[in-house]
Structure 1
């Protein structure tokens, strides 16, 4: 397999953190982006670059563009994994609560993708990480109105971008994840033990990011064997 240039957001913990090691060990170049760069930096992987990154801040996104322009000139895979969770009763939620979640889960993803499009081509793949909570008709849970609705918006955004760029690429797909044993799951469902580990899911996503666009474009795949 040829060496790929891969950008992953949300890499300080959980699935994103595990993906960095998995893809780096395959020999790919990784740009690992998270507000806390220390966990990835501590790995000391020679083909991994990391720096502090807040997906809701324009100057941070501009830094990513500068890095790609200078160091890579081309992006093969973008994995939009960063996510913000709010577990709060709707009656107590404010518009600012919703705005903070959407800034990360929808607006930030859209902007990162938009500014990197000029570095991608027909063979590139944008993989967005959503949730089963964003699937129409799936089981819904109290307190997750902002989170699950934002993940539903991300699914629709992915489908729209796939249509808009179907002629010249890149390909766009979205994975709706079920329960995975991560810190975020513990925040949403305290005490719940998921049947899938972060490393297991990271392996699946890493493989799909490299090969999934050969068979899929504009598709949402439900990756879940449990409820939630």
Structure 2
């Protein structure tokens, strides 16, 4: 497969961290972005660039554009993987909990996409990582009002952008993930054991990100090994 330029957000741990290793091992160029760049920078991978980037800070997001201009000129894949999860009863949720959820899960993805779009081609692919909790008609869980509603918003955004850019590209798709054994899941649901590891899910996401645009546009794919 031809070497591609891939941007991944939320790479300090979990699925994003595993994606960096998988994509670079496959020979692709990766820009790894997270608030904490230390975990990835410590890997010392030749075909991986990384710097601290808070996707909710427009100054940090602007650095991404500068990097692309200087190093790559174009982007083949953007994986909006950053996520924020808070698990609280609705009566206990503060407005700041909702704001934090939407800042990362929706507005951050919007900011990244707007910055990267000018460097993408018709064959490029934007993959938004959503959740089964954001899928209409799926099983819902108490405590996830902020998280699941924000993940529902990114699903609708994906569908709208696919329509808006269907003539020029890139393609837009969303993966609605089920439970995956990550640090974020453990923090929100201590003791819960998910059926898939972060590396297993990352492998699926990488494969889909590289080829899914050939088969899908504006689609929401449910990726869950559990029922519900």
Same fold (TM over 0.5): yes
Aligned counterparts of 1:181 and 1:60: Cα–Cα separation in 2: 29
Work out the CA distance in 2 between the residues paired with 1:95 and 1:191. Answer: 28
Aligned twin of 1:139 = 139
SS at match of 2:64: helix
Conservation of the 8 A alpha-carbon contact between 1:87 and 1:187 = no
Give the TM-score of the pair, scaled to structure 2: 0.98
Partner of 2:170: 170
User: What secondary structure is seen at the aligned counterpart in 2 of 1:121?
Assistant: strand
- Check whether the contact 2:64–2:115 (CA below 8 A) recurs between aligned residues: no
The answer for unaligned runs of 5 or more in structure 2 is: none
Q: Secondary structure at the match of 1:3?
A: coil
Pair 1:193-2:193 in alignment: yes
Give the equivalent residue in structure 2 for 1:28.
28
Deviation string for 1:118-158 (max 9, x for gaps)? 10010000000000000111111111100000000000000
Q: CA deviation at 1:188?
A: 2.5
Aligned with 1:50: secondary structure? strand
1:45 counterpart SS class:
coil
CA shift for structure 1 position 227? 4.1
Q: Distance in 2 between matches of 1:49 and 1:91?
A: 42
Structure 1 or 2: more strand by fraction: 2
User: SS at the partner of 2:54?
Assistant: coil
1:48 maps to what in 2?
A: 48
Counterpart position of 1:91: 91
Partners of 2:132 and 2:66 in 1: CA distance: 34
CA apart distance, 1:187: 2.1
TM-superposed CA distance for 1:207, in Å, is: 0.5
Q: Kindly report the root-mean-square deviation, in angstroms, between the aligned alpha carbons of the 2 structures.
A: 0.8
Which segment drifts farther, 33-42 or 88-97? 88-97
Taking the TM superposition and a 5 Å limit, the aligned residue runs for 1:139-158 are: 139-158=139-158
Provide the secondary structure at the position in 2 that maps to 1:123: strand
Gaps of 5+ in 1: none
Tell me whether 164-173 or 188-197 shows the greater mean CA deviation.
188-197
Mapping of residues 63-102 of structure 1, within 5 Å: 63-102=63-102
Runs of at least 4 residues off by over 3 Å: none
How far off is 1:199 after superposition? 0.5
Aligned residue pair count? 228
* Deviation of 1:116 (Å): 1.1
Q: Where does residue 116 of structure 1 map in the other structure? A: 116
Greater shift, 187-196 or 164-173, is seen at 187-196
Distance apart, 1:208 and its partner CA: 0.3
Counterpart Cα distance in 2 of 1:118 and 1:53: 19
Query: Which residue of the partner structure matches residue 61 of structure 1?
Result: 61
